[in-house]
Structures are given as C-alpha cells and as structure tokens.
Amino acid sequence: MFKPNFRYTNKIVSNLIKISTAREIILNSPFIPKWEVTLQREAIIRRAHSSTAIEGNRLSLEQVSDLVHGREVMASRKDKQEVLNYLGVLENLEKLTDGKIITENNILSIHRMLTKETLENNSDCGRYRNRYVVIGNRLTGEIIFRPPINKDVPNFMKNLIGWLNSEVAKELDPVVEAGIAHYEFVRIHPFVDGNGRTARVLATLILCLRGFDAKQFFCLDDYYDSGRQAYYRALQSVDQKTLHLTRWLEYFVEGVNISIDAVKEKVIRLSSERLRKTRRGQIALTERQMKIIEFINQNGRITNKDLREMLMISDRAALKEIRKLLDLKVIKSEGKGRSLGYVLS
C-alpha cells in the first residue's frame, strides 16, 4: 500500500492550529441562509474559474459568473465547456462517491465529467492513459516532470485509493490527507489530460467527506491561481527518489490557512450586527429550503407557482415549505392575491 513520507514541522502544526480555530469560528457563527447560499455560490464560481485558469482556460471570473447564471459568453466552445464541466462536478460533489468511500470508478467518473467534450480523443475521458505524457513548460518546451510509465499507473492508483480509504489516512488531519492525495495524484498523472483539475477536485472531495468543508465555503484554487509559479515550484520540490512531501505539505497547509482565514473574516463581518441582536444562532435548512433561498437570491422573490415548478411538488407541499420558512422568519410575504410572493426577511 502507498505510504506517504513526510514529517510535521512547526510551520505545518502552527497553520493547522490556525485552520482549526478559523473553522470553529465559521461553523459557530450565527449565520442566516442567504449569506450561506451566497458564500457557497461565490466559492464554487471562484473554484471553477481558478482551477481551469491554471491550465490555460481564458475565461475571466466575470465570464464564469455569467455562465453560471445562464448568460451568453463570447468565448471558445472548449473554454466554456471546461468551466461548465467543473461547475457540474462541484455542484454534485456529495453524489460522486460511494458513501464515505472513494473508489476507482468514482475517480474515473470525475475525470469523465471534467473532460467531457474537451479532449481531442473522447475515448481518453475517464480512462487511464494508454500513451506516455510528460509535463513541460508550454513556452520554453522544457520538460519539468516525467511521470511513471503507463503500465504502472493502475497499480499506483490502486495503492493510493487503498490508502485513502484506510484507517491510517483517517487518523491524519483531513487537510494533511488532502494535501498528500493531491500530490500523489499529480505524481502518478494517470490521465492524458485534466490531471491537475482532477487532483484539485479529489482534495476538495476529501475535505468534504471528512466534514472539514461540508458547506464548501472556501476556495483553495484561488491560492494556486494567484501564485501559479509557487504552486508548480511546491510540486517540484518533492525529491523523486525519496518522495519526501514535507515542503509540499507546508505550502498546501499554508494555502488552506490563507483561504479559510479569508472566509472567516467575511463571515465575521456578515454575521456580527444583525445576529447579535437576534441571538438565535445558526439556522439549519434542508436541501429544498436552500434551493428556495437561492432562487430568491437570484430572482428577488418566489411565488407558490415558482416553488411548485422548481421542486416539482404539489400545491400543498409548496405551502408547507413556505410555512416552515415563514416560521423561521427567513422569508416574509409580499403582495396579496395573485401577486402574493415571498422575499427574504
């Protein structure tokens, strides 16, 4: 089985403590639903933009946002498809595994979703490489990294997946586990293309499955994209003879700390004044209720008819959902009769 080689340094431990503190502040902040939905949506958009931009996608953050909201974007078909594929994976992250277990089929499926209609050969989607590839500098032609030969890929992946699902991995801090998995996946480079995107999704998936970023609030991809050369240098810092991951993990853990600290500061600003007054604590919403809040955020209001059509439920069931949100004082009614609708309180 795969056995990662690393040691804890003062830098890693210090950042893990800061991460834990920031995470507790976020999870325990009195939070209202419209902010939660907004933070989730912002993080997903930024992830889709940053992770694809690292690999050469030319869409701006504004264009990615336009795509999310169904607006027309003037860009190449491939660039748009890459972003839409990434968004689709992030929006369905919790449905992409077999419970808490990550399988080989899960990873192949994720790669297939990420690369759909973007590769020269469609047969390469969701399939380990059958020809050798190297990682190089697109401008200079310099070869930066030579991954394992094709025939070794399935066994390396089997070992990595076995480790991910082992008790040994679960005993590690989820941030450390995600960082190790990210590097080892990039090192194996199991696919012809799309390895970086798949590695970053895998790291995100691990953090979600371990309950670290269950609400998908923070965007580590921004950290990579804002300093691409530092990202590549950190990946290249690992000696291929010893595969000692300490320097890479220092970089990765620091990135999580920077990313989650930015979310913490935003949550503190959003939460302080209003919810200090209410003292009601956090409001837990169901998946249906979150969809209702997101609809109102995007459209300003929602009607009973909108709700029935969106959730494909009966009039009685729609009224029941509305009453729950009214009782929680998350929404309020506006208008009367045929013009009756609901807005955020």
State the fold for domain 287-344.
Arc Repressor Mutant, subunit A (1.10.10)
The pTM for the full model equals 0.79
Find the helix packing angle between 195-209 and 174-188, rounded to 10°. 160
Exposed/middle/buried for 119, CB within 10 Å: 0-12, 13-18, 19+?
middle
Tell me the three state secondary structure of residue 136: strand
Start-end of CATH 1.10.10.10 domains in the chain: 287-344
List, by residue number, the catalytic residues: 189
- Nearest 5°: CA angle at 19, between 14 and 25? 130
| First-to-last C-alpha distance (Å) of the chain | 54
Tell me the three state secondary structure of residue 5: strand
Helix (H) or strand (E) holding 156: helix 153-164
Contacts of 329 (CB under 8 A, 6+ apart): 345
Start-end of CATH 1.10.3290.10 domains in the chain: 10-269
CATH of 10-269, one of 1.10.3290.10, 3.30.2350.10, 3.40.50.1370, 3.90.550.10: 1.10.3290.10
3-state secondary structure 278-309: HCCCCCCCCHHHHHHHHHHHHHCCECHHHHHH
Q: Tens-of-pLDDT digits for all 345 residues of the chain? A: 899 999 999 999 999 999 999 998 887 776 666 677 778 888 899 999 999 999 889 999 999 999 988 889 999 999 999 999 999 999 898 888 878 899 999 999 999 999 999 999 999 999 999 999 888 766 677 777 889 999 999 999 999 999 999 999 999 999 999 999 999 999 999 999 999 999 999 999 999 999 887 677 878 888 888 888 888 889 889 999 999 999 999 999 999 999 999 888 887 776 654 544 454 555 667 778 878 887 887 677 899 999 999 888 998 998 999 998 888 888 889 888 888 999 887
